[in-house]
Amino acid sequence: MTNEPKITPEIVAQHGFTPEEYEKVLEIMGREPSMTELGIFSVMWSEHCSYKSSRVHLGRLPTTGERVIVPPGENAGVVDIGDDWCVAFKVESHNHPSFIEPFQGAATGVGGILRDVFTMGARPVAAMNSLRFGPLNDEKNGRRNTSILKGCVDGIAHYGNCFGVPTVGGEVVFDESYSLNPLVNAFALGIVRKDQIFFGKAEGIGNPVLYVGAKTGRDGIHGATMASAEFDEEALEKRPTVQVGDPFLEKLLLEACLEAMRSGAIAGIQDMGAAGLTSSSVEMASRAGTGLELDLTLVPQRETGMTAYEMMLSESQERMLIVAKSGREKQVVDIFKKWDLDAVVIGKVVEGHHLRVYHNGVLEAEIPVDTVTDAAPKYNRPMDGSKFKIQNSKFKIEDQKPKTKDQTEALKMLLASPNICSKRWVYQQYDTMVRTNTAILPGADAAVIRVKETRRAISMCLDGNGKFAAINPRMGAKLIVAESARNNVCVGAKPIAVTNCLNFASPEKPEVMRAFSEVIDGISEACRAFETPIISGNVSFYNETDGKGILPTPTIGMVGLIEDTRKIITQGFKKEGDIIAILGETKDDLAASEYAQTILGLTTDELIENGIVPEIDLDLEVKVQTACLKLADNLLINSAHDASDGGLAVAVAEQCFSSLNNQANGAEIELSNSDLAAESLLFGETPSRIIVTFSAENLEKIKEVVGDCPFEIIGKVSAENLSFKINGEEKISASVSELETAWKTSLEKQLER
């Protein structure tokens, strides 16, 4: 091997190994590793690539189902949508890079997830993102939080718009715990014919290995290791570990890859994401049970004097590793040449199970591939749940000091609050319509894209709720999955599969690990109830800055199927005089609501202290969703909307607002209930509730379809005003246009000041 620095305990520690892990490296190798080998072990055994703290728990997630074509383990999961067509999708975090360098961090997050999807042979047709930031008006970090938000939105727009994928939905959430710990979870979905799915397998002894796409530079070296540590004041010094994205190159790479796949010359393909050339080569060989020989001298480079270590660890973007069928490499090279891209044979698939890396004629690394994948460390880390509060009833509305007792004023404040107000300022910067499939634009319960090749449409949404998961991780997780499913149902879609992104603080803290484990169990139970298997996902630990961690934040990306585009339902009220009814029941669920935070002024820590989240009954939830789907399927309803953040009053107000081709309406609501406080009825966040509207003539048929699902008529659609009466007494009366303005302009007022 070449003259490299001697491996000292300092170097071992810098690479993030514990002494025990390094012992294991020595044991596997039977000798001291070279620097390149140490680097390979380091990135492959990082938390980010090896899932060493989470693997023991992830196995409990349900991953099978009738529609599942490719379960977790590949670049993206694939499910059958009928007529020989499939969708491939996945969500992935890019939290750490987005904190260090918001624009490029978020942009390359989008780039990475798009590659994951088209690696499967699927053309990306929709993207979403789930974003979490600290409060914009925070005294200490408000300006920083604002600039992080603007940078992330700009980066996502830059990448997605240029690449040509519509960004159709997602969420933007604010909470103190995301100050200096932003979360950027990027989702992409692609369409692929069932018989044209590709895999990341290095199959066929003797087949050539091609490097395609952008040239390799020194950017992003150790990005995966960076994403596996918490942050402190010096975090910004890590900026050089953030990669720089080029969406134009990625667009060329997409077209070239799809063309090469169609040519039949490709045996396997894998994107070079985290840990670049290392993870792509190791994973492809590992999946196929083969060995690989690579000559790094042949790798296209944009810097001079790069070492084998640097090339194996570089995270330069927009690159792919392809295994071509023997003898057809020229065909592949020619296709990439057409798109002005590099495509070079850098090695071949060999017998055995070793990765051998040569550089300038010298063997720089020789590692058995399964030792860096399957034999990676796996920890069952200590867990401690003693800090979780048990549900108690300490919270009483009578003991609280609301900022206003006027419920109309409270509704207006809620509609303008950061977590409920319109996110138009954000999504108008995204191209939401390119590819001409978007049937429901951002701002709805779920986005919908039609599938041109069929009569079907696909719905999708991204949902998280750190607050609920922090108070009660298991119940919180169930609530999030249920809301995701409900959001799909509200546009007329049957939920079919899930991808998840689990954002947590340090796994070395026992209470974090306990929350993680509980969240896995909550997700599993709910996914079983909805028959929506998990087909892909990602775990992001170490979301901590200066020792302060984020709320446990599982993000659920759920995808649904609409058999016929004519059966899509939207949330806006359509016609004056339509009956407004609610599927489900309202209970006393004010304690952890947006009302509790915005109007009662409770901090998230105080909500956690109170320890109360809504209880969800999954059987009831399934019943409500089934009823709503049947109504949509029989074309009996004119609108549907989930009552969640801000409760019934906010949900009805949102349905009054105008949308494309649909003018604003009003509503007259009359509720009667002797057990619940007005605040709970109006603003409580009981799950399993869907508001639907329909023509009076459909009422009898609707009652028949709904069966034994709780169903109550609460009012009718009117002209210009929204009013709520409880037991005959008027509680809310407001002009809809005034409410709509407050809701629509709140975020841009904060951001454009």
Partner 1 sequence: MKFGVIVFPGSNCDHDAYHVISKHVGQPVDFIWHKATDLSGYDAVIVPGGFSYGDYLRCGALAKFSPVMQSVKEFAAQGKYVFGICNGFQILCEAGLLPGALIRNKNLHFICKHVNLKVENANTPFTSEVENGKVLSIPIAHAEGNYVCDDETFHQLEENGQIVFRYCDENGEVTDEANPNGARSNIAGICNLNRNVLGMMPHPERACESLLGSNDGRAIFRSLTKKIAETVEA
User: Both tokens of residue 62?
Assistant: 């349900």
Place of tokens 């599942």: 68
Q: How far apart are CB 451 and partner 1 at their closest, in Å?
A: 12
Q: How far apart are CB 725 and partner 1 at their closest, in Å?
A: 34
Q: Does 249 bind partner 1 (CB under 8 A)?
A: yes
**274 CB-contact burial (10 Å; exposed 0-12 / middle 13-18 / buried 19+):** buried
**With respect to partner 1, which residue has the nearer C-beta, 44 or 157?**
157
Q: How far apart are CB 129 and partner 1 at their closest, in Å?
A: 15
**With respect to partner 1, which residue has the nearer C-beta, 396 or 566?**
566
Q: Among residues 433, 635, 713, 719, which is the contact residue for partner 1, using CB under 8 A? A: 433
**Interface characters, 717-736, with partner 1 (x: CB under 8 A):** --------------------
Q: How far apart are CB 59 and partner 1 at their closest, in Å?
A: 40
Q: Which of 15, 94, 96, 354 is catalytic?
A: 94
**With respect to partner 1, which residue has the nearer C-beta, 186 or 667?**
186
Q: Does 189 bind partner 1 (CB under 8 A)?
A: no
User: Both tokens of residue 221?
Assistant: 């070296």
**With respect to partner 1, which residue has the nearer C-beta, 420 or 449?**
449
**With respect to partner 1, which residue has the nearer C-beta, 249 or 357?**
249
- Contact criterion met (CB below 8 Å) for 319 and 257: no
Q: Among residues 430, 504, 595, 657, which is the contact residue for partner 1, using CB under 8 A? A: 430
Annotate 613-628 with b (16+ C-beta within 10 A) or e (fewer): bbebebebbbbbbbbb
Q: Does 340 bind partner 1 (CB under 8 A)?
A: yes
- Residue (of 174, 164, 185) closest to 141 by Cα position: 174
Question: HEC states along 317-386?
Answer: CCEEEEEECCCCHHHHHHHHHHCCCEEEEEEEEECCCEEEEEECCEEEEEEEHHHHCCCCCCCCCCCCCC
Q: Does 663 bind partner 1 (CB under 8 A)?
A: no
Q: Does 356 bind partner 1 (CB under 8 A)?
A: no
Q: Among residues 93, 161, 472, 698, which is the contact residue for partner 1, using CB under 8 A? A: 161
- Residue (of 169, 710, 183) closest to 427 by Cα position: 169
Q: Are strands 666-671 and 721-726 parallel, antiparallel or unpaired?
A: parallel
Q: Does 431 bind partner 1 (CB under 8 A)?
A: yes
Q: Which amino acid is at 690?
A: I
Q: Among residues 178, 339, 388, 530, which is the contact residue for partner 1, using CB under 8 A? A: 339
Question: Considering only 220-228, 410-418, 437-445, 703-711, which stretch makes contact with partner 1 by CB under 8 A?
Answer: 437-445
Q: Among residues 2, 429, 626, 723, which is the contact residue for partner 1, using CB under 8 A? A: 429
Strands (E), 32-105: 68-70, 77-82, 85-93
> 532 by DSSP, 3-state: which?
coil
**Interface characters, 542-571, with partner 1 (x: CB under 8 A):** -----------------------x------
By CB under 8 A, the count of residues binding partner 1 is: 32
**With respect to partner 1, which residue has the nearer C-beta, 493 or 502?**
493
Q: Which amino acid is at 481?
A: V
Question: Considering only 104-112, 155-163, 292-300, 575-583, which stretch makes contact with partner 1 by CB under 8 A?
Answer: 155-163
354 catalytic per annotation: no
74: left (phi over 0), alpha (psi -120 to 50) or beta: beta
List 214's β-bridge partners, or say none. none
**Interface characters, 208-247, with partner 1 (x: CB under 8 A):** --------------------------------------xx
**Longest CA pairwise span in the chain (Å):** 87
**With respect to partner 1, which residue has the nearer C-beta, 193 or 394?**
193
Place of tokens 């709140």: 746
Q: How far apart are CA 737 and CA 666, in angstroms?
A: 9
Q: Does 164 bind partner 1 (CB under 8 A)?
A: yes
Q: Among residues 55, 144, 215, 251, which is the contact residue for partner 1, using CB under 8 A? A: 251
- Residue (of 160, 175, 104) closest to 128 by Cα position: 160
**Interface characters, 298-337, with partner 1 (x: CB under 8 A):** ----------------------------------------
Q: Among residues 241, 317, 432, 472, which is the contact residue for partner 1, using CB under 8 A? A: 432
Residue count of the chain, please give it: 753
Percent composition of the chain: helix, strand, coil (DSSP 3-state, to 5): 40, 25, 35
Place of tokens 């017998």: 351
If residue 9 lies in a helix (H) or strand (E), which one and from where to where? helix 9-14
Q: Among residues 304, 401, 660, 729, which is the contact residue for partner 1, using CB under 8 A? A: 660
Q: How far apart are CA 220 and CA 240, in angstroms?
A: 7
Question: Could you tell me the end-to-end alpha-carbon distance of the chain, in angstroms, rounded to an integer?
Answer: 59
Q: How far apart are CB 287 and partner 1 at their closest, in Å?
A: 32
363: left (phi over 0), alpha (psi -120 to 50) or beta: beta
**Interface characters, 486-525, with partner 1 (x: CB under 8 A):** ----------------------------------------
48 catalytic per annotation: yes
- Residue (of 25, 71, 195) closest to 497 by Cα position: 71
Q: Does 541 bind partner 1 (CB under 8 A)?
A: no
Q: How far apart are CB 53 and partner 1 at their closest, in Å?
A: 39
Q: Which residues are catalytic?
A: 48, 94
Interface with partner 1 (CB under 8 A): 157, 161-164, 246-249, 251-252, 339-340, 427-439, 441, 450, 452, 565, 660-661
